[in-house]
Amino acid sequence: MSQQNTILPIQKSDRIQFLDVLRGIAIFFIFSANIPVFSGFYFFPDEGRYPEALLFTDEILDFIMFTLVDGKFYSIFSLLFGIGSVIQFNNLKSNNKPFAPFFRRRMFWLLIIGLIHLCLFWQGDILTLYALLGFTLIYFIKLSDKNLLIVAVILILFPIINWLIVYSTGLNYHRFFFLTSSDYYQHFNLPTIERNGIPFADFQKFQTNESLLDYFKMNIGNTFIRIGAILREGRIFKVLGIFLIGIWAGRKVLNHDILNNTKFLKKIALWGILIGLPISILRTYIEFYGGPEDYWKLSKIISYALGTVPLAMGISALLALLYFKKPSAFAVFAPVGKLALSNYIFQTFISVAIFYGIGLGFTGKFGFTVIMGIAICIFLFQVLMSKLWLKYFRFGPFEWIWRQLTYGKRLKLLKDKKL
């Protein structure tokens, strides 16, 4: 087939460097939000940790990280996902190719990768949700800017309505998935603990388990817990809403050169932080010191809906301002961002190998500060490996697999040797 009739991957010259940098930064902070779960920090008491790994900075750093990181950087990653869909749309449009068939293939194979990651390796996977919601972007990609933002705001605020409906009707639809996980665990005689009279997955036993087969079995059961948690918090609405903001932002980046509009970026950074930071601090206080009463739960939902996205937008704009002032200072993040899918999945493999019983078994042994130090070390390793990999290869290993499946053709992985 001639090149004119073939859909080709976006070339390096078409990339906007800042988006790779922002993606790389997001990958690090998503990992810093995930590693406390990987490490067993939330599932094991302080009594079981190494005494020297408990530091006076633990609680302070935990408070700061939850305020500034939790929910914010997966929101930034969701924003980038929306921007990426616009880039793909424009690429196909310029080649007179239909967007929907291509994007469905792209999301289908991302869904397969995500399901393998979710069901077998990491119950906190985001790829599956991204792929499922990605299918819906086909119907939003041509929506006007105004309507995109209106729908986005409604979706981001809808978790509040979702909670009120569940509370007032007692229709706890997400409970089905928690009960399904319990039934699964009991059917396969896997370890459980009792919560409110219901057998629930024992995450301490899961993380200390030394059998690879049982690890896979338990992780499949944990998948139902993940689905229930996503539905309970209304994450489907939030992520889709941020995708739509990403489509809007992608148009502004590509068609209106918004990244060079310093005045606009300063306004977004200022208002995003002024609105989002105080509300996010309030949310952290509620999370750390609030009780089990329903008004605390509702306060948590409201503060998340009102504070997370503005702060994420403010951080993104601030990073853009800093980047364009001195791009070289941020260049280290670009290789990680170009290999975002591979780095995200390898973070799972590395963390399981370090913390879980099927690996080195350090689960529940470290305090929060030490865990963040480990996250930084792992990320620095990924920075070095990403730079080295891109010296010889055109794509990351998982990006290469995904692209080949999407484009339905074999793509060259090795770079041409320079003479």
222-239: pLDDT as tens digits: 999 999 999 999 999 999
- Provide mean pLDDT across the span 143-171: 94
**pLDDT average, residue stretch 246-250:** 95
Mean pLDDT across 150-172? 94
What is the mean pLDDT of the segment spanning 135-151? 95
What residues are paired with 201 via a beta bridge? 192
Long-range contacts from 218-222, C-beta under 8 angstroms, 24+ separation: 218/185, 218/190, 219/119, 219/120, 219/121, 219/122, 219/123, 220/119, 220/120, 220/184, 221/181, 221/184, 221/185, 221/188, 221/190, 222/123, 222/181
pLDDT reported for residue 68: 96
Residue 13 has pLDDT above 50, yes or no: no
Give the pLDDT band (50/70/90) at residue 6: low
Q: What's the pLDDT score for residue 260?
A: 86
- Report the sign of the C-alpha dihedral through residues 30, 35, 37, 42, in that order: negative
255 band by pLDDT with thresholds 50, 70 and 90: confident
Are 126 and 76 in contact, with CB atoms under 8 Å apart? no
- Give residue 322's pLDDT: 94
Q: Which amino acid is at 394?
A: R
349-372 pLDDT, tens digit per residue, is 999 999 999 999 999 999 999 999
**Average model confidence (pLDDT) across the chain:** 93
User: How far apart, in whole angstroms, are the C-alpha atoms of residue 108 and residue 196?
Assistant: 38
State residue 28's pLDDT score.
Answer: 97
Please tell me the distance from the alpha carbon of residue 118 to that of residue 277, in angstroms, as a whole number: 31
